[in-house]
């Protein structure tokens, strides 16, 4: 599953940022505002340069804090994770005062952090905090780590928030704490009409181990997570929590910031370092040290979670019920990319199956993977408020850990890569609700995860907009659309066969030949059934190329999905990524 049903009730996963309180927003949003991304590029704050770092937040605690002591470091968080893993699991506090526990969705959205109370993190960064309440029950410890000296805890004070009409006049004790935080940044290309000192939001940590990143000019879309445990297993999924964060004050004029985080769950404790660089693209380098309490059957590393309802080929699954929606497409991501040294694969996302399904893509070694939003035109969505065309893809690129422990026991960095041997697994949940994240992609190591055996990994997350981009260069043409329809219209039979399907797969990229007479072939395969007369043809209107191919199903149909594959070739040279889809 893609989220914590205990916290969400009928919704899977921690609250999407579409559902969060909007700075200065309306306390009673319409349904259309509920479904749009509330934290847009317009969300931001203006900070006064006269306010010292966290002065207002820390004065009350200076008398109880040591005047000198060690700074918190990543290795210090690792030591905490090791101690946690050696002890029985005790989850983060979920106790809430009755008024907060009884809040409705609208009541929680009306709680707004006051921008003037933002935590200053150098002159270019600041943080705003999330209140606990409604479904955000768990308390997360927050600290500011100055450039020298010990970390300073961030104390809850009711005055930091506008509580809205439901809670007007009430106050809550300092031990209430917070549910999470969001980061703002002073982008260099901020429009001139913004006031001086304006900082724009670009990153949110809220709920379990979820966090959301966007580049300048993008909308929030898919989420990343610290870990995924048991995704798709009959026993159910476990959702680790970030239980503490240390926001590290950067150097003066620094354009990056570090967050240290402690993760805990019944199966594992972990330490994380997030080295965050906002911009276009935005990047986060993640270093993690994981300490299992027990054996873990399916551990998902660098997991991504997204939403896909309908795309170019409708729901995409056989016999799926159509959507009654004025919008042609509704999704935060429309496909999965998996890259190895030998190939780059594109899997269009599918909705409408009768049951959830897991697909696995072996990667020995893994070069990278990501959930992408390749459809970038407004006309494809027609949603003025949601702006799906502006939502980011997110690319995961393993990097060599700082220490020699590998995910797979005895794995060779040269043979298996930094993550070791394993597969990218894609989990797709049938859904008809736009607010449900129903897609999960993660790398699952082949080696067993054993209790007491620590794992160290490192990877880089990069936002992706319109392609090609450096992380997905144009040396291979990319799949930009998959459309499916009846093949009977071109080759009618008597009687007609409704099972025969025609696939039109469009490729674009700077490396494709412009000569329409170029000798380009379509290389196709099917795990069952027959692919008939594949044709590769230029598309003058786009400058790309298209593969037409008819799939004729076997009789009887096999259980599960039939996998179809296709790519463009020039002689023996592969010139496109591999299209990999289900029939």
Q: Judge whether 391 lies within some domain.
A: yes
By DSSP bridging, strand 241-248 and strand 141-145 are parallel
- Residue 133 is given by DSSP the state B
Q: Are residues 493 and 441 in the same domain?
A: no
CB atoms within 10 A of CB 24: 13
CATH of the domain at 151: 2.70.98.10
DSSP 461: E
The residues pairing with 227 across neighbouring beta strands, listed in sequence order, are 301
pLDDT in tens, 241-275: 999 999 999 998 899 999 999 999 999 999 999 99
User: What mean pLDDT do residues 191-212 have?
Assistant: 90
pLDDT for 24: 35
**Is 171 part of any domain?**
yes
Residue 185 lies in a domain: yes
CA dihedral (289, 295, 298, 299) in degrees, to 10, reads -10
453, 562: one domain: no
Asked if 186 and 197 touch (Cβ cutoff 8 Å), the reply is yes
Please give the pLDDT value at position 248: 98
- What pLDDT does 44 receive? 63
Inter-residue contact 127 to 184 (CB < 8 Å)? yes
The CATH number of whichever domain residue 561 belongs to comes to 2.60.40.10
Give Cβ neighbours of residue 544 (< 8 Å, ≥ 6 apart): 477, 480, 506, 507, 508, 509, 512, 538
Residue 528 lies in a domain: yes
Q: Classify burial at 364, counting beta carbons within 10 Å of its beta carbon; exposed 0-12, middle 13-18, buried 19 or more.
A: middle
Determine the pLDDT at residue 473: 93
Q: Please, what sign has the CA dihedral across residues 62, 67, 73, 75?
A: negative
Q: Are residues 164 and 292 in the same domain?
A: yes
* Whether residue 487 is found in the same domain as residue 460: no
Residue 25: Cβ-neighbour burial (10 angstroms; 0-12, 13-18, 19+): middle
Dihedral sign from CA coordinates of 377, 396, 186, 110: positive
Q: Where are the beta strands (DSSP E) in 389-475?
A: 393-399, 422-428, 439-445, 455-464
pLDDT confidence of residue 68: 53
CA 241 vs CA 127, 174, 233, 351, 581: distances in Å: 20, 21, 19, 28, 34
CA pair distance 572, 521, nearest whole angstrom: 10
Q: Evaluate if residue 66 carries a pLDDT over 60.
A: no
Q: How many domains does the chain have?
A: 2
Same domain, 453 and 492: no
Which residue do the tokens 């797979």 mark? Answer: 408
Sign of the C-alpha dihedral, residues 333, 334, 340, 341?
Answer: negative
Give residue-wise pLDDT tens across range 515-573.
877 899 999 999 999 999 999 999 999 999 999 999 999 989 888 789 999 999 999 99
Query: Which two three-digit tokens encode residue 561?
Result: 């999905």
Q: 101 pLDDT band (50/70/90 cuts)?
A: very high
Look up the domain containing 496 and give its range: 478-582
122 occurs within a structural domain? yes
pLDDT confidence band for 401 (50 / 70 / 90): low
Task: Note the pLDDT of residue 511.
Answer: 87
Q: In whole angstroms, give the CA distance from residue 254 to residue 124.
A: 7
416/490 same-domain check:
no
| Residue 532 pLDDT | 93
Better-scored residue on pLDDT, 320 or 138: 138
Q: Answer for the pair 159, 116: CB distance below 8 angstroms, yes or no.
A: no
Predicted pLDDT at 411: 47
**Residue 570: Cβ-neighbour burial (10 angstroms; 0-12, 13-18, 19+):** middle
Backbone dihedral angles phi then psi of residue 112, each to the nearest 5 degrees: -125, 130
Parallel/antiparallel/unpaired status of strands 344-348 and 578-582 = parallel
Query: Is the confidence at residue 326, as pLDDT, over 90?
Result: yes
242, part of any domain:
yes
- As a whole number, mean pLDDT of residues 119-142 equals 96
Residue 207's CB is within 10 A of a number of other CB atoms, namely 30
Structural domain ending residue among the three candidates 401, 433, 464 = 464
Asked if residue 14 and residue 64 are part of one domain, the reply reads: yes
| Host H or E run for residue 10 | none
pLDDT, mean of residues 480-500: 84
For residue 17, what pLDDT is reported?
A: 41
> What are residue 336's phi and psi, to 5 degrees?
-110, 135
Q: Which of 217-226, 338-347, 486-495 has the lowest mean pLDDT?
A: 486-495
Q: What is the pLDDT of residue 211?
A: 98
Cα distance between residue 168 and residue 176, in whole Å:
17
What average pLDDT does range 77-87 have in this prediction? 97
Segment 474-491 mean pLDDT: 89
Span 462-468, average pLDDT: 97
Q: Is the pLDDT of residue 27 over 80?
A: no
Smallest CA-to-CA distance from 308 within 352, 267, 264 is with: 352
Q: Is the pLDDT of residue 32 over 80?
A: no
DSSP H helical ranges for 347-451:
413-416
Domain boundary among 436, 464, 492: 464
pLDDT at 391: 98
Please check whether residue 357 lies inside any domain of the structure: yes
Q: Residue 547's Cα: distance from chain center in Å?
A: 31
Residue among 262, 152, 292, 136 nearest 207 (CA)? 136
Is 286's pLDDT higher than 60? yes
Q: Are residues 500 and 366 in the same domain?
A: no
Pair 382, 489 in one domain: no
Q: Which two tokens stand for residue 43?
A: 């969300």
Q: Which of 1-5, 27-31, 64-68, 458-462 shows the highest mean pLDDT?
A: 458-462
The pLDDT value given to residue 416: 66
Same domain (yes/no): 419, 499: no
* End-to-end Cα, the chain, rounded Å: 23
The pLDDT value given to residue 495: 81
Q: What pLDDT is attached to residue 319?
A: 79
207 plus 299 within the same structural domain = yes
The alpha carbon dihedral of 279, 282, 287, 292 has a sign of: positive
CB 501 within 8 A of CB 551: yes
Are 424 and 495 members of one domain? no
Is residue 470 in a domain?
Answer: no
Average of per-residue pLDDT across 206-216: 97
> What pLDDT sits at residue 47?
52
Residues 212-233 have pLDDT tens digits of: 999 999 999 999 999 999 999 9
pLDDT at 30 over 60: no
Averaged pLDDT score across all residues of the chain: 86
In this prediction, residue 46 has a pLDDT band, given cuts at 50, 70 and 90, of: low
Buried b / exposed e along 433-449 (16+ C-beta atoms within 10 A): ebbbbbbbbbbbbebeb
Nearest 10 degrees: Cα torsion 536, 520, 363, 302: -60
User: Largest Cα–Cα distance in the chain?
Assistant: 88
């Amino acid at each position: 599953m893609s989220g914590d049903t205990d916290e969400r009730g009928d919704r899977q996963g921690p609250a999407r940022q579409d559902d969060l309180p909007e700075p200065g927003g309306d306390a009673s949003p319409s349904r259309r505002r509920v479904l749009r991304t509330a934290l847009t590029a317009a969300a931001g704050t203006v900070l006064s340069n006269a306010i010292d770092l966290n002065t207002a937040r820390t004065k009350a605690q200076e008398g109880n804090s040591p005047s000198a002591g060690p700074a918190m470091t990543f290795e210090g968080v690792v030591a905490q994770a090791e101690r946690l893993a050696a002890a029985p699991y005790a989850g983060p506090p979920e106790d809430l005062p009755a008024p907060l526990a009884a809040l409705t969705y609208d009541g929680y959205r009306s709680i707004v952090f006051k921008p003037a109370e933002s935590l200053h993190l150098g002159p270019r960064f600041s943080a705003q905090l999330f209140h606990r309440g409604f479904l955000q029950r768990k308390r997360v410890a927050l600290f500011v780590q100055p450039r020298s000296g010990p970390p300073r805890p961030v104390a809850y004070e009711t005055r930091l928030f506008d509580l809205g009409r439901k809670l007007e006049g009430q106050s809550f004790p300092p031990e209430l704490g917070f549910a999470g935080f969001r980061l703002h940044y002073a982008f260099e290309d901020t429009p001139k009409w913004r006031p001086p000192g304006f900082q724009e939001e670009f990153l949110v940590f809220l709920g379990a181990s979820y966090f959301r990143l966007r580049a300048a000019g993008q909308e929030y879309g898919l989420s990343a997570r610290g870990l995924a445990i048991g995704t798709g297993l009959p026993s159910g999924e476990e959702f680790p929590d970030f239980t503490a964060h240390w926001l590290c004050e950067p150097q003066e004029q620094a354009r990056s910031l570090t967050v240290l985080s402690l993760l805990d769950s019944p199966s594992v404790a972990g330490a994380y370092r997030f080295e965050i660089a906002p911009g276009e693209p935005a990047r986060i380098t993640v270093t993690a040290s994981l300490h299992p309490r027990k054996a873990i059957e399916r551990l998902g590393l660098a997991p991504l979670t997204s939403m896909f309802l309908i795309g170019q080929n409708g729901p995409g699954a056989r016999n799926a019920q159509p959507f009654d929606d004025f919008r042609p497409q509704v999704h935060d991501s429309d496909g999965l990319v998996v890259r190895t040294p030998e190939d780059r694969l594109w899997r269009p996302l599918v909705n409408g199956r009768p049951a959830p399904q897991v697909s696995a893509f072996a990667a020995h070694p893994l070069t990278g993977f990501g959930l992408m939003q390749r459809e970038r035109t407004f006309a494809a969505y027609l949603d003025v408020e949601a702006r799906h065309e502006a939502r980011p893809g997110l690319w995961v690129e393993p990097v060599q850990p700082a220490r020699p422990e590998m995910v797979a026991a005895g794995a060779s960095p040269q043979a298996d890569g930094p993550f070791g041997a394993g597969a990218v697994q894609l989990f797709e949940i049938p859904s008809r609700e736009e607010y449900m994240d129903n897609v999960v992609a993660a790398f699952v190591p082949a080696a067993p995860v054993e209790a007491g055996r620590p794992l160290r990994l490192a990877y880089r997350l990069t936002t992706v907009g319109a392609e090609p981009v450096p992380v997905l260069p144009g040396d291979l043409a990319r799949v930009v659309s998959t459309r499916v329809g009846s093949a009977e219209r071109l080759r009618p039979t008597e009687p007609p066969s409704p099972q025969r399907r025609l696939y039109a797969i469009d490729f674009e990229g700077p490396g494709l030949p412009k000569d329409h007479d170029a000798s380009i072939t379509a290389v196709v395969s099917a795990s069952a059934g027959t692919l008939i007369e594949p044709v590769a043809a230029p598309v003058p209107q786009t400058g790309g190329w298209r593969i037409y191919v008819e799939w004729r199903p076997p009789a009887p149909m096999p259980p599960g999905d039939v996998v179809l594959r296709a790519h463009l070739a020039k002689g023996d040279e592969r010139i496109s990524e591999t299209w990999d889809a289900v029939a």
